Chain A
Amino acid sequence: MKTYLLRRIALMIPTLFGITIVVFAAVRFLPGDVVDQIIGPDVTYVNPQTRAALERQYGLDQPIAKQYLWWAEGLVHGDFGRSIISGRPVMQDLAERIPVTIELGLLGLIFSLVIAIPVGVIAAIRQDGWADQIARSAAILFLAIPSFWLALIVIIYGFDWFGWTPPLRYHQLWESPSANIRILWIPGLILGAHTAGAIMRLMRTTMLEVLRQDYIRSAWSKGLRERVVITRHALRNAIIPVVTIIGLEIRGLVGGTVILEAIFSIPGMGNYLLSSIQQRDYPVVQAVVLLTAVIVVISNLAVDVSYSLIDPRIRYSS
C-alpha cells in the first residue's frame, strides 16, 4: 500500500509541473506585457519610475525561463502574487474562498451520492418496475437539464412561489453552521443533481450485474434476508465502479461550482474567477485555474487511494 501511494504521488509531480507550465504560458498570449495589464486600460499616464519598478518587480528584464522559475518558486511558498485590482496578495483573498468552493463541491457530491446510491439500488432491485422507470427517467432528465436553468428558476420563482429568499449574506461554516447550510443546500442540491443522474445509472447497472452473480444467488439460497444480501454482499461489490466514476465527475463538480456560485452569489473561487476575468486581473485568474486543477488532481488521488482500499486487487496489479 505504501509503495502504491508513493508511486501515485510520484506520478502527480509531472502533472502538477505541467499544470503550472500551461497556466504560465497561456497568460503570455495576452496582448501587452504584465505591466501593461497591471496598469490597465483606463490609466492615461504612468510615472516611468513606477513602470521600471513594476518591471523589475515582475522580473520582465529576465529571460522567460527565469521568470517562470521565479513565479513557480513563489507558488511553492504559497505566494500567488498580488491581485492587480485589489492590490492584496491573491492567497489572502483566496484563503476565505477555497473552503467555500470545496464545501459546495463536497455538498454536491454528498447530495448526489445520498440520492443516487439508494435510488440506483432500488431501481436495480425492482428492475422494470415503476420505481425503476421513474428513477431512470429522472436520471436522464438530470443529465440533460442545464444546472444554471434550474438555479435561475429557483432564484426567480422561489420568492413568488414559496416566499423563499436566499440569506442576505454568506456565512462561513465555522461562523454559523446553520446559516451556512441554509445558503448552500440549494446550490449544492442543484450541483449534485447532474452528477446524481450519472451515478444513479451506473449504480443501477453494476447492481444488476452483481445481482446476477453466483455468490449472490447462493446468498439468496442460504435464505438470507433481502436487506442483508443487498447491503452486505451486493452493494459492497457493486459500489466499486461507482467510486471510479466519482473520480471522473470531480472535474465536472468543480467546474459546475462556478456557475452556481455566480447565480447564488456565493463568495467562492468561481465567483472570484469570473469577476477577475472581467477586470483582467490575471494573477488571480492564474491562481484560481491552477488551484482548481490541483484540487482535481488531489481528489483523483483520494479517489484512487480509496479505490485501492476497497478493491485490494488494484494495489497489486499496478
Chain B
Amino acid sequence: MGERDRVRAFGVRMSRRGFLGASIAGGSVLLGSLLSACGGGSDSTATSGASSTQASGGAQSTTTSTSSASPVAGAATASASGGATAASGGGTVKKGGTFSNFAAASPPSLDPFPSGSQGQSEFSAFSYSRLYMLKSGPGVPKGSLAVVPDAAAKTEVSQDGLTYTTTLRDNVVFHPPLSRKMTADDVVFSWNRLNGKTPGSTASDRIQNLAAIKDVTSTDNLTVVFTLSTAYPFFLQRLADAKAMFLMPKETGSDFNPAEKVVGSGPWILTKHTPNSSSEFKRHPDWHLGPDLPYFDSITTNVIPEYATQLSQFLAGNIDWIIVQSSDLKRVQDSVKGVQIYESPPYPLSVLNFSANTPQWKDVRYRHAVSMALDRDAMLDAAYGLKDLENQGIKVTRFWHNYVPAAFSEYWLDPKGTEITPEAAGYFKHDPEKAKSLVKEAGGGFSTELHYAAANSRYGDPYRIMSELIIEYLRDIGFDVKGVEEDYNSTFIPNTGKGKFDGLMWIPQTRTDPFAYYQTQYLNPKHGIYGQWKDDDLTQKMLAIQSLTDDAELTKQIKDVQNLLAEKMYVIPMQFGAASAYYAYQPWVQNSTVYQSFAQGWPSEDLPYYWSNK
C-alpha cells in the first residue's frame, strides 16, 4: 500500500545533527574517537569551488587539508592502507555479518532509470555506482554538500565552467557475470540511455537533475567530457545525486534486461529479489573502494509497509534501524538499551504555488497575506508532533524553511534569524490581523481552491495534515477555500504540477543542492509554475548566480536572493519536511551515527562503513 512512505516522505536520509538524551552519549564518544582516528581529509580533486567551500565550512572538520593526494575520502584511504582500521572506542572493525535493512516499499523496478522516485534511487544506490558521492563520515558537517569521488578519480573544470573533464578510476569493476572494468564508454552509454537516445529507452524524469548537460563524450578509455549548456555551480553534486545518473554497463539492454538483472559496480551485488517482499545483497569483493569495504558481508532488505510493524520489529531486534516517529522516541530509548539515535536536519522543501489563471494572485498583497496567514510552528506541531517531543523532555528546534531548505545551513537564510531583512522576515510571521487587512486592502477575500495530491500519494500524512491546515488558515483571513484532493499519477503530477490549475497548489520537492531549487522554480519553464509569471529582473538575477564561480560570492548571492524572493513571493516556502527526522540504530551497528550523508545515496555513501560488533 505504501502509506508508510510518509516515513520516507520527510525522513529522507540526512547527515547526523545532534544527539539526544543520555542514552546516546555513546554516540558522541564514538564520533570523537573517529575524528582522531581518521582525520578529515578533504578531496582536493573535487575541484568545483562550491564543494571545497562546503568541506571547509564544517565546524567539526579538524584537518581540511587541501593537498591530499588521494582521491579517496579520508576514511576510505585509511581503511585501504590500514587493513583493520581502528574505528570505534579503540576496538577494531569486525567484518562480516548481515545488516538487516528494511524498506517501506519495493522499488518500482530493478532498472534504475524509468523511475526517479526516492525508493528507486535508494534501491539502485546499493548496486550501481555514480561518478561522485556525497561525503559522509567523521568531520563532515550536517547537510554537507561536499562530494567524494565514486567511480571518478578526478575532475577538471574549464575557466568558463562549461567543460568538466572527468577521469575514471582504473579499478571500477562491474559485478559478475560481466566482471570487467568500467570504461568511459559505459558513462557515455548511461547518459544516452538516461536521455532516451539508446534504442528502446525513454528519457526519464532523472534528466531534470542534469538539465545543464549539453553533451557527454569520451576522449579515451578513462576520460569523459561533460559539456554544459550553462554553467552550474553545483555540477559535481548533480553527478553525486542518486536521483540523477547511475552508471550502467554498455551491455545493458542488449546482453541482458536491466529490469530482470542488476549488473552494476556498486558496493553491493543483488543476489535475490522478491518484489514487495525482500531483497538480498552480498558485498562486492572487488569494489573500487575496497578491499576492506564494505564491512558487512551481506544486506537483507525486508519490505515492511506498516510503521507499527517496523517499530515492533525494531524493538524486537529484528531490523537494524528505523525512522522513529517523534511520539515513539522515548519508548525506543527506554526499551532498547544503548540505542543510537540521530536527529537529522530538514531537507525536503515544498512550495505553495499561485495559479497564473487566478488574476487576483497578481496582487502581491494577496500573496503576502496568504503567507502571513500560515502558522508555521503550529503546522510543524500538527504534522510532526513536536509538542509530543517537548512533553517527553526532548529539545526541539522549529525550523522554518526559506526558499532554500534549512538543511543546507550555509545557504539557508533563517526567516527567524538576524541576516534576513525585517521586511522579508515579516512575510513569514504568523500575523492573521495584518493578513486580513492586506486582503481587505487588495479588495477582499474570494473563492478559491487548494489543489493537493491524494492521501495515497507518496507524500504521506504530514502533507495531508498541512493541506487541511492551509485551507483552514486561509478561511481565517477571509478566503472561501475549497480543498481539491487529486490522484497523484493521473492528475496531480501531469496537470496540476505543470501549472494546469486554478487557485492554489502545493507540491513537495527534493533537490540535492540549493541552486537546484532555484533552477526548477525560476529557470526551467517546464517545471514549476514560475514560467507563467515571468519576472525578467529575477530571471537575470538567477542567471547571474548560475554562472558565479567564486564560492563566497555564490553563498552570499544564494542567501541574498531569498530576501528578494520573499518580497516578490511568487511561491511560498512551506513547512513540509521542516522537522528533524529521528533515525534509530541498534546498539551493535557501529559507525552508523558517524557516516550519515543526507539524501538517497546512503547505501553506497554510508552503509559500506557500518559494521556489527555482535
Q: Which residues of B contact A93 (CB under 8 A)?
A: 275
Contact partner of B201 (CB less than 8 A), chosen from A30, A47, A158, A170, is A47
Q: Are B278 and A43 in contact (CB under 8 A)?
A: no
Give the one of B116, B259, B278, B312 with max A CB within 10 A: B312
Q: Which residues of B contact A49 (CB under 8 A)?
A: 199
**B304 nearest CB across to chain A (Å):** 6
Q: Which residues of A contact B2 (CB under 8 A)?
A: 274-275, 278
Query: B251-279 interface mask toward A, CB cutoff 8 Å, 1 = contact, 0 = none?
Result: 00000011110000000000000111110
Q: Are B108 and A279 in contact (CB under 8 A)?
A: yes
Give the one of A88, A272, A274, A278 with max B CB within 10 A: A278
Q: Which residues of B contact A267 (CB under 8 A)?
A: 274-277
**A76 nearest CB across to chain B (Å):** 24
A159-B315, A275-B105, A275-B276 are known contacts. Are A50 and B494 too (CB-CB below 8 A)?
no
Query: B113-124 interface mask toward A, CB cutoff 8 Å, 1 = contact, 0 = none?
Result: 011100000000
Q: Which residues of B contact A263 (CB under 8 A)?
A: 1, 306
Q: Which residues of B contact A170 (CB under 8 A)?
A: 274, 277-278
A44-B203, A53-B200, A159-B315 are known contacts. Are A265 and B306 too (CB-CB below 8 A)?
yes
CA distance A202 to B291 in the complex (A): 69
Q: Are B196 and A275 in contact (CB under 8 A)?
A: no
B360 within 8 A of A: no
A147 within 8 A of B: no
**B244 nearest CB across to chain A (Å):** 13
Query: B507-527 interface mask toward A, CB cutoff 8 Å, 1 = contact, 0 = none?
Result: 000000000000000000010
Q: Are B259 and A87 in contact (CB under 8 A)?
A: yes
**A278 nearest CB across to chain B (Å):** 6
Query: B196-212 interface mask toward A, CB cutoff 8 Å, 1 = contact, 0 = none?
Result: 11011111110110000
Q: Are A85 and B203 in contact (CB under 8 A)?
A: no
**A87 nearest CB across to chain B (Å):** 3
**A18 nearest CB across to chain B (Å):** 27
Q: Are A88 and B302 in contact (CB under 8 A)?
A: no
Q: Are A158 and B203 in contact (CB under 8 A)?
A: no
Give the one of B1, B110, B203, B257 with max A CB within 10 A: B1
**B101 nearest CB across to chain A (Å):** 11
Query: A30-64 interface mask toward B, CB cutoff 8 Å, 1 = contact, 0 = none?
Result: 11000000011111111101100100000000000
Q: Which residues of B contact A43 (CB under 8 A)?
A: 202-205
Q: Are B259 and A165 in contact (CB under 8 A)?
A: no
CA distance A315 to B298 in the complex (A): 60
**B246 nearest CB across to chain A (Å):** 16
A156 within 8 A of B: yes
Q: Are A280 and B257 in contact (CB under 8 A)?
A: no
A81 within 8 A of B: no
Contact partner of B202 (CB less than 8 A), chosen from A50, A155, A168, is A50
A159-B315, A168-B318, A272-B276 are known contacts. Are A39 and B304 too (CB-CB below 8 A)?
no
Q: Are A87 and B109 in contact (CB under 8 A)?
A: yes
Q: Which residues of B contact A274 (CB under 8 A)?
A: 1-2
Contact partner of A265 (CB less than 8 A), chosen from B202, B305, B319, B494, is B305
> Dominant SS at the A interface?
loop
Q: Which residues of A contact B110 (CB under 8 A)?
A: 86-87
Chain A positions 54-111 with a Cβ under 8 Å from a chain B Cβ: 85-88, 93, 96
CA distance A256 to B490 in the complex (A): 26
A271 within 8 A of B: yes
B158 within 8 A of A: no
B309 within 8 A of A: yes
Q: Are B489 and A41 in contact (CB under 8 A)?
A: yes
Q: Are A45 and B259 in contact (CB under 8 A)?
A: no
CA distance A93 to B116 in the complex (A): 22
Q: Are B200 and A50 in contact (CB under 8 A)?
A: yes
Q: Which residues of B contact A85 (CB under 8 A)?
A: 108-109, 114-115
**A156 nearest CB across to chain B (Å):** 5
Q: Are A45 and B196 in contact (CB under 8 A)?
A: yes
**B229 nearest CB across to chain A (Å):** 15
Q: Which residues of B contact A278 (CB under 8 A)?
A: 2, 456, 488-489
Q: Which residues of A contact B305 (CB under 8 A)?
A: 262, 265
Q: Are A45 and B195 in contact (CB under 8 A)?
A: yes
Q: Are B276 and A42 in contact (CB under 8 A)?
A: no
Q: Are B316 and A165 in contact (CB under 8 A)?
A: yes
Q: Are A165 and B204 in contact (CB under 8 A)?
A: no
B247 within 8 A of A: no
B111 within 8 A of A: yes
Q: Which residues of A contact B319 (CB under 8 A)?
A: 168
Q: Which residues of B contact A163 (CB under 8 A)?
A: 316
Q: Are A265 and B276 in contact (CB under 8 A)?
A: yes
Q: Are B309 and A166 in contact (CB under 8 A)?
A: yes
B222 within 8 A of A: no
Q: Which residues of A contact B108 (CB under 8 A)?
A: 85-86, 279
Q: Are B259 and A47 in contact (CB under 8 A)?
A: no
Instruction: With CB as the reference atom, state the residue of chain B lying closest to A164.
Output: B312
Query: B465-507 interface mask toward A, CB cutoff 8 Å, 1 = contact, 0 = none?
Result: 0000000000000000000000011100110000000000000
**B242 nearest CB across to chain A (Å):** 16
Give the one of A42, A47, A50, A158 with max B CB within 10 A: A42
B129 within 8 A of A: no
Q: Which residues of B contact A279 (CB under 8 A)?
A: 108, 489
Q: Are B1 and A87 in contact (CB under 8 A)?
A: no
Instruction: With CB as the reference atom, state the residue of chain A lying closest to B206.
Output: A42
Q: Are A86 and B202 in contact (CB under 8 A)?
A: no
A169 within 8 A of B: yes
Chain B positions 76-114 with a Cβ under 8 Å from a chain A Cβ: 100, 105-106, 108-111, 114
Instruction: With CB as the reference atom, state the residue of chain A lying closest to B107.
Output: A86
Q: Which residues of B contact A156 (CB under 8 A)?
A: 308
Q: Are B1 and A86 in contact (CB under 8 A)?
A: no
B409 within 8 A of A: no
**B190 nearest CB across to chain A (Å):** 16
Instruction: With CB as the reference atom, state the residue of chain A lying closest to B315.
Output: A159
Q: Which residues of A contact B105 (CB under 8 A)?
A: 275
Q: Which residues of B contact A (CB under 8 A)?
A: 1-2, 100, 105-106, 108-111, 114-116, 195-197, 199-205, 207-208, 257-260, 274-278, 302-306, 308-309, 311-313, 315-316, 318-319, 456, 488-490, 493-494, 526
Q: Known pairs A40-B489, A86-B109. 15 more at Cβ < 8 A?
A: A44-B208, A46-B196, A85-B114, A87-B259, A168-B313, A168-B318, A170-B274, A262-B305, A265-B309, A267-B276, A267-B277, A271-B1, A278-B2, A278-B489, A280-B490
Q: Would you give 22 A-B contacts (Cβ < 8 Å), ordered by A?
A: A40-B114, A41-B490, A42-B115, A42-B116, A50-B199, A53-B199, A53-B200, A85-B108, A86-B108, A87-B114, A88-B260, A96-B274, A159-B311, A170-B274, A265-B305, A265-B306, A267-B277, A272-B276, A275-B276, A278-B489, A279-B108, A279-B489
